[in-house]
Chains A and B, each alone.
Chain A
Amino acid sequence: MAFNQLLAMVEAIFSAHEEELDCEGCDQEMPHLVEIIEAGEDPTLLLPAVQEHLNHCRDCREEFEALLVIVRAEDQGVLNQNGNGTGGS
């Protein structure tokens, strides 16, 4: 184990609160959170519990980031009907 992993675990321990959103709660809020971010709003003010869960849960964070990428590409119109992004590589 690298020192950074130990430090990440220690930080996760000390940021623990009695009441935290679980994965199911995060999953329900995720589409709303993505649209809040796409609208340029501050998610830490509007959905702090979801943001906090994402800081602790790699599984949910990975899914959230993937959803954000896809929704953003859809909104920006960079997908065609075959799913090929036309912007960048």
Chain B
Amino acid sequence: MQTKYRNRLAFARLAVYRTIPPKEMSLRICVVQFMHVEALLRVYLMTERTNEQWVADLTADHTVEQAEALEDLRLRLQRGIFYYLRRERSDLSSRSHTNLQQMAEDFTQEATLRIIKNIHSFRGDSRFTTWATKVAVRVAISELRRARYRDFSLEEVTADGEMMPDLNVLFPAGQPTGPERSAEQSEVLEKIRAAIQNALTERQRTALEAVGLRGVPLEIVAEQMNTNRNALYKLLHDARVKLRAALEQEGISVSYIHDLFR
């Protein structure tokens, strides 16, 4: 730990303890209070670390500085991830406080390992803590996706081999558009269907159906297609470019589709 940081911690500790009346506290309350104040002080004061200090401390193998920096990082990431799980994830609303804390702890542990392993890739164009939180967020959300799609089968989703629905599937209540417009709508759907069939590879069609139409996360589809998320995004990007060219060749534009189906 930097001397300046250590001095500030000692000074802050002194200032805080002078305000606590220990005479009226039991030993147990004193201990709890002590741990609480120490944790608060460390969380508050660790924001004083510069990016360079974070990196230096976390990579100072087998030192007190490293142990303290790891603990500070763990505290910070864990409370951030817990906040996200508790406040932003309605799908986890039935989980208990303890359960969410445990999840946050597990995600943080995995994230900390990744941060140390990849610390050389921190470019310094943001705060170190923002970068580290990004790593933790990725770990947490990836794990939640895997849990949610545990029983997902890409083969089942794409089994019928038919991506594009007919008009009566798109508009089960019926479109009040008249026969002429309905015919034009069917014709456009057929052109989109033909473009998907002719311009794309089978892998692109599978990915487009799962990700683009069914909303399955890229990460899940990538795992089942034996690739990675980045490669799958590129595959889909290539598919979009090809489809755009094919549809423009047919005289179809997005505004035309908006007007036709409005």
A interface with B by C-beta (< 8 Å): 1-3, 5-14, 16-18, 20, 22-24, 27-28, 30-32, 34-35, 56-59, 62-63, 66-67, 69-71, 73-74, 79-85
Which residue of the partner chain, among A34, A57, A73, contacts B126 with CB atoms under 8 Å? Answer: A34
The interface residues of chain A lying within 8 Å CB-to-CB of B137 are 63, 66-67, 70
- Which of A8, A13, A67, A71: most chain B CB closer than 10 A? A13
A22-B233, A59-B229 known; A67+B134 contact, CB < 8 A: yes
B interface with A by C-beta (< 8 Å): 36, 39-40, 43, 75-76, 78-84, 86-88, 101, 104, 121, 123, 125-127, 129-131, 133-134, 137-138, 140-141, 165, 169-171, 192, 208, 211-215, 217-219, 229-230, 233-234, 237, 240-241, 243-244, 247, 253-254, 257-258, 261
Q: How many A-B residue pairs have CB under 8 A?
A: 145
Are B86 and A14 touching (Cβ within 8 A)? no
The interface residues of chain B lying within 8 Å CB-to-CB of A14 are 244, 247, 253-254
Are A74 and B230 touching (Cβ within 8 A)? no
Q: How far is the CA of A66 from the CA of B85 in the complex (A)?
A: 9
Are B247 and A13 touching (Cβ within 8 A)? yes
- Which of B75, B137, B247: most chain A CB closer than 10 A? B137
Which residue of the partner chain, among A59, A71, A85, contacts B130 with CB atoms under 8 Å? Answer: A71
Are A34 and B130 touching (Cβ within 8 A)? yes
The interface residues of chain B lying within 8 Å CB-to-CB of A81 are 36, 39-40, 43, 75, 79
Nearest residue in A to B121 (C-beta to C-beta)? Answer: A28
Are B131 and A13 touching (Cβ within 8 A)? no
Task: Pick the 6 closest A-B CB pairs, nearest first.
Answer: A83-B82, A83-B79, A31-B126, A16-B240, A70-B80, A14-B254
Rounded to whole Å, the gap between the CB of A85 and the closest CB of chain B is 5
Q: How far is the CA of A58 from the CA of B212 in the complex (A)?
A: 10
A12-B240, A30-B134 known; A66+B88 contact, CB < 8 A: yes
Which residue of the partner chain, among B79, B87, B138, contacts A80 with CB atoms under 8 Å? Answer: B79
Query: What are some 18 contacts across the A-B interface (CB < 8 A)?
Result: A10-B254, A12-B240, A13-B240, A13-B243, A16-B244, A17-B241, A31-B127, A31-B130, A31-B134, A34-B126, A35-B126, A58-B215, A66-B141, A69-B84, A69-B87, A69-B88, A79-B80, A83-B78
Q: How far is the CA of A81 from the CA of B88 in the complex (A)?
A: 18
The interface residues of chain B lying within 8 Å CB-to-CB of A34 are 126, 130, 134
Are B240 and A3 touching (Cβ within 8 A)? no
Known: A1-B165, A27-B134, A81-B40. 7 other contacts (CB 8 A): A9-B208, A16-B240, A18-B241, A22-B230, A74-B133, A79-B80, A81-B39
